[in-house]
Amino acid sequence: MRQRIFTTVLAIALGVNLYLGARNLATSAEVRGKEDVYANMEKFTRVLETVRREYVDEDKVSYEDLVQGALRGMIQTLDPHSEYMDAKKYQALQSDTMQQFGGIGVVVSMRDNWLTVVAPMDDTPGSRAGLMPGDRIMKIGKKSAKNMSLNDAVGIMRGKPGTEVTVAFYRPSADKDLTFTFKREIIKTKSVSDLNGGGKYDLLESEIGYVRMSGFSEKTASELETALVKMEEHGLKAIVLDLRDNPGGLLTQSAYVTEKFVPEGQVVVTTEGREQRQLDKLVASGRFKERTLPMVVLVNGGSASASEIVAGCLQDLGRAELVGMKTFGKGSVQSILPLHDGSALRLTTAKYYTPKHRTIHGKGITPDHVVEMSPEQMGHLALKRSPGGLGTLPEEDRKKAEATTDLQLKKALELLKAKLK
């Protein structure tokens, strides 16, 4: 059996190598090292056979187990968002898209090799517990989060609504360990709200409107349109669009939101992969009335993906000034590529670019006006927006949270009032 697999793998590698050589003998000398198919496949096969022969626990070294492990490791080394899924895991992923599940209401990503909270979602177990962007996940249940993949972590935190999961965190900003036991909920958050987390959309001083967007779901653009119309009926003269702690969502919705503030035909975002077929542009369609009123967009380290697309486009076009802190830097596209045996790859196949061809991924977007606020201050603002959120705090902490000033919103209002003079 071993000899047959060894011979088959080498034959495939040799066949590929001969094919490449037949196409262009002149370049055969360059096909060495990293790009030498034969040498690298031979090395892989020899390691496979050595592990099969020498490893102490024979029940752990079946060909299937070793190859599955090698595939997982190979894809994991590319980036935190790519993953090899065996048939069982891929089937579970497909099932997830059709069923409701419970969670704790946080968006996580990999940052500096740690599973890190990008943002807690408004009015969820995570936000009510006071989780903050930058909190590191150390343990989920009894499992250490060290070396745990992003998708495995999300899978463990999900579960049947009403069941509990205990998660341990480390907060670098306070050098503090935190442990919470969450009751999972079906996460249903309204993606557009006013300053108080509701839907009244009363104007602030100088007829300046404020809209907070916590994500990009199927109804985000229509909810924003409703909010804008309400404020326009009361004499709206300028607007603050708050994208802080907005982890993103549907790419198409980011275009639908942006096109309310840019002319028809304007490129909102470009996605580019290695091949021409992976080049795509989202363009303002003109389906919504274009608003030309003065505008400020609030961003921070919890603003990611689709929210970075909106902010980056409006900044590139000089359509809005950005206030706050540098964004997260999640600007890549993952595609699901099914394999013949029922397994699949989740693979990063493209990156987002702003109208000025700035890349978002790994870099983020720096606002025009940097106004620092601590994770604790941002957490206090989140609790203010959540119904009953401040009630979860001890009295001393609650008073401190109530006294927290939104310095970034304050700066935004100053800028807009100056434009309205």
User: pTM for this one?
Assistant: 0.72
Mean pLDDT check: name the lowest of 187-201, 230-244, 260-274: 187-201
Share of the chain above pLDDT 70, in %: 86
Which of the following is catalytic: 305, 307, 343, 386? 305
Tell me the average pLDDT across 26-44: 72
Q: Where are the alpha helices (DSSP H) in 24-170?
A: 37-54, 63-76, 87-96, 125-128, 150-157
Break the chain into its structural domains and give their ranges. Answer: 2-61, 100-186, 192-420
| pLDDT exceeds cutoff 80 at 277 | no
Regarding the domain with residue range 192-420, which homologous superfamily does it belong to in the CATH classification? Answer: 2-enoyl-CoA Hydratase; Chain A, domain 1 (3.90.226.10)
Given a cut of 60, whether residue 18 has pLDDT beyond it is no
Q: Is the pLDDT of residue 12 over 70?
A: no
Contact yes or no for 219/227 (Cβ under 8 A): no
**Mean of the per-residue pLDDT values for the chain?**
85
Percent of the chain's residues with pLDDT above 90: 51
- Give the C-alpha separation, 391 to 249, whole Å: 30
* Higher pLDDT among residues 88 and 228, named by residue: 228
Per-residue pLDDT tens digits for 182-207: 999 987 767 899 998 888 999 999 99
Mean pLDDT of 214-229: 92
Q: Long-range contacts for 172-179 (Cβ within 8 Å, ≥24 apart)?
A: 172/134, 172/136, 173/132, 173/134, 173/374, 173/375, 173/376, 174/375, 174/376, 177/138, 178/135
Token pair 């626990």: residue: 57
What is the three-class DSSP state of 160? coil
Q: What is the pLDDT of residue 160?
A: 85
User: Is 305 designated active site?
Assistant: yes
| pLDDT (0 to 100) of residue 101 | 65
What is residue 190's predicted lDDT score, i.e. its pLDDT? 74
Least confident of 295-304, 370-379, 404-413: 370-379
pLDDT band at residue 49 using 50, 70 and 90 as cut-offs? very high
Asked whether residue 294 carries a pLDDT value surpassing 50, the answer given is yes
Question: Is 175 annotated in the active site?
Answer: no
CB 378 within 8 A of CB 246: no
3-state DSSP call for residue 196? coil
If DSSP codes are grouped into helix, strand and coil, which group holds residue 3? helix
Is 11's pLDDT higher than 60? no
Structure confidence at residue 113 (pLDDT):
78
Architecture per CATH, 100-186: Roll (2.30)
Better-scored residue on pLDDT, 231 or 394: 231
Calpha distance 143→309 (Å, rounded): 35
What's the average model confidence in pLDDT over 52-56?
93
pLDDT at 4 over 70: no
Is 200 a known active-site residue?
A: no
Instruction: Read off the pLDDT of residues 297-345 as tens digits, 9 standing for 90 and up.
Output: 999 998 999 999 999 999 999 999 999 999 999 999 888 899 999 999 9
Q: Tell me the pLDDT tens digit for each residue of 130-182.
A: 888 889 999 999 899 987 887 788 888 988 889 999 999 999 888 899 999 99
- Helix residue ranges, H only, 282-364: 306-316
pLDDT tens digit string along 397-406?
778 878 889 9
Q: How far apart are CA 318 and CA 356, in angstroms?
A: 11
Contacts of 323 (CB under 8 A, 6+ apart): 296, 297, 298, 299, 367, 368, 369, 371, 408, 411, 412, 415
Reported as half-sphere exposure (CB side, CA atoms, 13 A), residue 309 has a value of: 32
- Catalytic option among 82, 149, 330, 386: 330
Ranges 16-30, 275-289, 358-372: which has the least confidence: 16-30
Out of 316, 351, 368, 384, pick the active-site residue.
316
